[in-house]
Structure 1
Amino acid sequence: MNDQTAAVRPPEPSIDRSLTLHLRGDWGAANLHRVCGWISQELTDRCGPHTRVAVWNSRGFSDAVHAVGRGEVHVAMTTPAAFTAAALDGRGVYAGESHPDLRALGVVPQRDRLVVAVHRSVGVSTFAELRDAKPALRLATSVNDGVNHVGLAAHELLERSGVDVPGWGGTVLADERPFETFAHVKAGRADAVVHEAVMLPHWQEFGGDMHFLEVEAGVLDGLRADYSWPDAVVEEGFFPGCPRFRTLDFSDFLVLARSDLADDVAYAIAWVLGETRDVIERQYRHIPPERSPVTYPLDPAAMGRAPIPLHPGAAAYYDAL
């Protein structure tokens, strides 16, 4: 392959007709909304002159998946990406309402984990020790309402690990977003936490006071088998004084649509994700990549490796790389 051939990129899209599209992001001020704004700007530049793109607020979890599957919006963002696979065949929270026609347009990388941490004063460092001690924990996590993926995963993981916080005389402090959870820990209202967003600086502020519990292999195997939830490691030293441990993977933002989205629109969105990535990367470059809510630099080929089938239009872009 010569240098001229190596420089060839998939062709830039140009859609003559004007579009009206509905996207769905997050609560309004977080990363999914920012990605939707990026898609909106770059897609509109390449479509007809009267194109309009609306970005609806969302929670970014199963509500977003259902919104696409039900045809309420054309495109939505959800995290973690792997949790969407269960919607294809109606497992877990999608039992009774599957969405087999969901398709991926791409994956925006965020290296994240769901972790279980217990204050060192409790005196446990493993789930076995936790079960033996049965302490009356004050646990901070997210709401378990069938929508919030953090609360869903936290309660599923704890239940399968034999942890019964209310049954042991403890309390659960449940909120929607991580910042409320972290505030409970920092203020001393919680002595245990199950949450994600491990790149945020709050974990560095209180992580040295916590034992991070490795999730037992049987629990992780069961979650993968039942719901297609993967596991991953947190490397030694990522949290202050913490050894390497394995836990639930909570990575990546999935850009999803239905199979009936027009092929040229799906191609255009995938092209925007891969070829205008500098637009989003430069909004995070002041943060080290391993601590950034978007893990840069973005790799277009990796963005095409999704946990659900690619839309044919999007696949045309990734296949051309």
Structure 2
Amino acid sequence: MSPSLVSPGRPAEPKIDRSLTLHLRGDWGGANLHRVCGWIAQELADRCGSRTRIATWNSRGYSDAVRAVGHGEVHVALTTPAAFAAAALDGRGVYRDESFPDLRALGVVPQRDRLVVALHKDLGITTFAELRQHRPMLRLATSVHDGVNHVGLAAHEVLTRSGVDVVGWGGELLEDERPFESLDHVKEGRANAIVHEAIMLPVWQEIGCDLNFLEVEDDVLAGLNDDFGWPAAVVDDHHFPGRAAFRTLDFSDFLVCARADLADDVAYAIAWVLGETRHIIEGQYRHLAPERSPITYPLDPVTIGKAPIPLHPGAARYYDALPTA
């Protein structure tokens, strides 16, 4: 069993005598959501009956993960960005055909990320107003807009609400599932524009000097927040080479979600794992600076418990037991 971080005054370590069979849902298989699932599975199994089995299913980590939990296909799933799941509670946006009011949070794994819009400097465009005025022919790299991929969904909403019509202006959308392909399109000259996230990836520093990053306009950000609960955020000064701070769409955090009918002791145990064995996952990222890490460490149990959807009562029992400052 992994060493416990419990000390006097900390929430009680869980012990589930029965053996569990649980299904988790992560990402495509080789990224951060799967890694978090592996951490949860290891530490949870250590504290359950000896015949416990925990499987992690492949996923895309977007609305498909939320629906899988809502339909009872899996017990726990991770989705990102965390705030996008709130629309599932009352059936807004991509969930307008089916709401999931029983969706509950077990915790949030912090990842500071943003969705950014960038154009090659050769186009000479630095604002959305200039973009609308000049209507250049763009070869824009982003993710697929299929109602599942949150990057493609957000890119479509930001561009449409900003009055940008890539195809109508004679341009082309280069659509892929993951950020790596989109970034490669820019790096290798196939794209002269990009709308994407994962801004901590090193390749952004390689291509950033050739790009102008556009601030998303206030009315667009306000509309996205009003309609879907998608918050705005700031990209810090010089996160990208030579670029001052600017506002755009927040794309932060991994939401660990379940349904309200997940057993209370299991929900408590998973929340406890997130908060009290955080050194396990932090150790996998400490070779990276926190601002360049896919998980923004050091993790703080209080912050982990701040979710955009209601906490599962079992998980809330753990966060409520945390010592106050």
Aligned to 1:127: 128
AA aligned opposite 1:245: F
DSSP-derived class of the 2:43 partner = helix
Report the alpha carbon displacement of residue 235 of structure 1 after superposing the two structures with TM.
1.1
DSSP-derived class of the 2:221 partner = helix
Report the alpha carbon displacement of residue 236 of structure 1 after superposing the two structures with TM.
1.2
Aligned to 1:101: 102
Aligned to 1:258: 259
Aligned to 2:248: 247
Aligned to 2:3: none
Listed as ranges, the matches of 1:225-244 within 5 Å are 225-244=226-245
AA aligned opposite 1:176: E
Map Cα deviations across residues 93-140 of structure 1 (whole Å, 9 max, x no partner). Answer: 000110000000000000000000000000100000000000000000
- State yes or no: 1:280 paired with 2:297: no
AA aligned opposite 1:300: P
AA aligned opposite 2:263: A
Identity %: 76
Map Cα deviations across residues 41-80 of structure 1 (whole Å, 9 max, x no partner). Answer: 0000000110000000000000000000000000000000
DSSP-derived class of the 2:104 partner = strand
Aligned to 2:302: 301
What is the total number of aligned residue pairs between the two structures?
Answer: 316
Output the CA distance in 1 between the equivalents of 2:221 and 2:80: 19
Output the CA distance in 2 between the equivalents of 1:242 and 1:209: 11
AA aligned opposite 2:98: E
Aligned to 1:165: 166
Output the CA distance in 2 between the equivalents of 1:62 and 1:297: 28
Output the CA distance in 2 between the equivalents of 1:228 and 1:143: 21
Output the CA distance in 2 between the equivalents of 1:76 and 1:238: 31
Aligned to 2:39: 38
**Displaced runs of 4 or more, over 4 A:** none
Output the CA distance in 2 between the equivalents of 1:118 and 1:141: 12
Name stretches of at least 5 consecutive residues in structure 2 with no aligned partner: 1-6
DSSP-derived class of the 2:168 partner = helix
Listed as ranges, the matches of 1:1-321 within 5 Å are 7-321=8-322
Map Cα deviations across residues 145-204 of structure 1 (whole Å, 9 max, x no partner). Answer: 000000000011000000000000000000000000011001100000000000000100
CA RMSD of aligned residues (A): 0.6
AA aligned opposite 2:318: Y
Map Cα deviations across residues 288-310 of structure 1 (whole Å, 9 max, x no partner). Answer: 00000000000000000000000
Report the alpha carbon displacement of residue 7 of structure 1 after superposing the two structures with TM.
4.2
Output the CA distance in 2 between the equivalents of 1:197 and 1:214: 17
Name stretches of at least 5 consecutive residues in structure 1 with no aligned partner: 1-5
AA aligned opposite 1:159: T
Map Cα deviations across residues 213-234 of structure 1 (whole Å, 9 max, x no partner). Answer: 0000000000000000000000
Aligned to 1:3: none
DSSP-derived class of the 1:11 partner = coil
Output the CA distance in 1 between the equivalents of 2:244 and 2:169: 28
AA aligned opposite 2:26: G
DSSP-derived class of the 2:287 partner = coil
TM-score w.r.t. length of structure 1: 0.98
AA aligned opposite 2:159: L
DSSP-derived class of the 1:167 partner = coil
DSSP-derived class of the 1:168 partner = coil
Map Cα deviations across residues 226-276 of structure 1 (whole Å, 9 max, x no partner). Answer: 000000000110000111100000000000000000000000000000000
